[in-house]
Amino acid sequence: MLKNKNLGLIIIVLLFSFIFLYGSLLSKKIEVNENLWTIAIPQNSGLSKVSTILSQNTNVNPVLFKIAMYMTFNQNNIKYGRYDFRYINNMRDLVYTITSSSSMKVKVTIPEGLRMQEIALLFEKTMNLDVEKFMYLCYDKKIIKSLNLGININNLEGFLYPDTYIFLKTYNEKDVIKILIDNFKNKFNFVDVGDSDLSLYENIILASIIQAESKFRADMDTISSVFHNRLRSNEKLEADPTIQYLLPARKKRLMYKDIEEYKNSPYNTYKNKGLPPTPINSPGIEAISAALNPPKTNYKFFVANGKGTHIFNTTIRGHNKSKNNVFRKFK
C-alpha cells in the first residue's frame, strides 16, 4: 500500500516537472544575430541540420531545440523555406512556425497611416481577432509597460508598425500587438535621429501628421520642414489630418464647420498651438525619418495640388494664390 502511494507521488511529481519544463522551454525567448531577420531552412533538412543552422544564427540552444521538437512530436515535421524571425518571439513560435503548413499561416499587410481602431478591424477581418480586446490591450498600462518602448504613453496609437506580416493563425491579440511593437523597435533602430528639437514621442506624433498629409517621400521632407518652421515660430500647425482624426468618418474635404465643431479638442491644430497629444495614425519609416530630419527651408504653408503632391509657399499671400489656382482648376 505504501509502495503504491509513493509510486503515485513520484508520478505526480514527474508530471508536474514535465509540465513546468514544457512551459519553460516553449516560452524561452528567441533572439537573432544583429541585422539578420530572415533565416533559410533548405529542403530535406533534418532535425540536426536545422538545429545547427539555428544555433549559428540565433541564441537557440541546439539540444533544447531538439528536446522541444520531440516534446511537441514535431521532429519529423520541419517545413523548408525562408522564415522571418522578426515575428518569432519564443521557442513555441519557432516550433509552430517551421512545422506548420501554409494553411496555418496568414499574411496581413498594414498600410501606412492606419489608426489603431482601423488596425484592430483589419485583424478582425483577417485573423478573426476580437476588436474590443485588441483595443483594450492597446490602452492597458501593464501591457504598454511590458513592451519596453521607453516612453511614457497612455496608448499604442502610432506604434503599431505598418508592414507586411506572416502570422500563425493561433496567435491571439496580445501576440499580434507584441509583434507589431517589436517590429517598430527594430525599424526605429535604423532611423537617423538627427538633431531634432522634439522628443521621440513628439517626433512620432509629427510623423503621423506627415504620413496623413502625403505618400511621397520628397513631399514628406518638405512638409516636415513646414511644420518644424511653424513650431519654432510658435504658430498653429493648421493640419487637416488632426481634424480628420476627430471625425466619425474620414472626409474627402474638410469644411469650416468641422473645425468649429471640435474647437475645444486638444487635437484641433487650427485652434491650438503645438502638437496634438498623441499620434493620429501609425506612420511608416519614411514619415518618421522625415519628421526627424527636416530639410532647411523657409516654407510656412502648403496646399495639395490635386495630383498627390503639394505646392509650398513662404507667405500667406503666396499660399492663398496657390489655393485659389488649385480650386479654380478643379471646380
Residue extents of the structural domains in the chain:
19-100, 105-188, 200-329
The pLDDT score that the predictor gives to residue 24 is 61
292 burial via Cβ count (<10 Å: 0-12, 13-18, 19+): buried
Whether residue 148 is predicted with pLDDT greater than 70 in this model: the reply is yes
Q: Residues of the chain with pLDDT > 90: what percent?
A: 47
Confidence label for 267 from pLDDT (cuts 50, 70 and 90): very high
> Considering the chain, what is the average pLDDT of its residues?
86
**pLDDT value of residue 192:** 60
Would you say residue 296 has pLDDT above 70?
A: yes
Give me the pLDDT at residue 65, please. Answer: 86
Say which range, 13-17, 25-29, 40-44, 89-93, has the weakest mean pLDDT.
Answer: 13-17
How is domain 19-100 classified at the CATH fold level?
Answer: Dna Ligase; domain 1 (3.30.1490)
Q: What are 105-139's pLDDT values in tens digits?
A: 888 999 999 999 999 999 999 999 999 999 999 99
Residue 88 pLDDT class (50, 70, 90 cuts) = confident
- Mean pLDDT over residues 297-317, rounded? 90
In the predicted model, is pLDDT for residue 216 greater than 90? no
Query: So what's the pLDDT on residue 170?
Result: 82
| 71-85, 87-101, 175-189, 215-229 — most confident range | 215-229
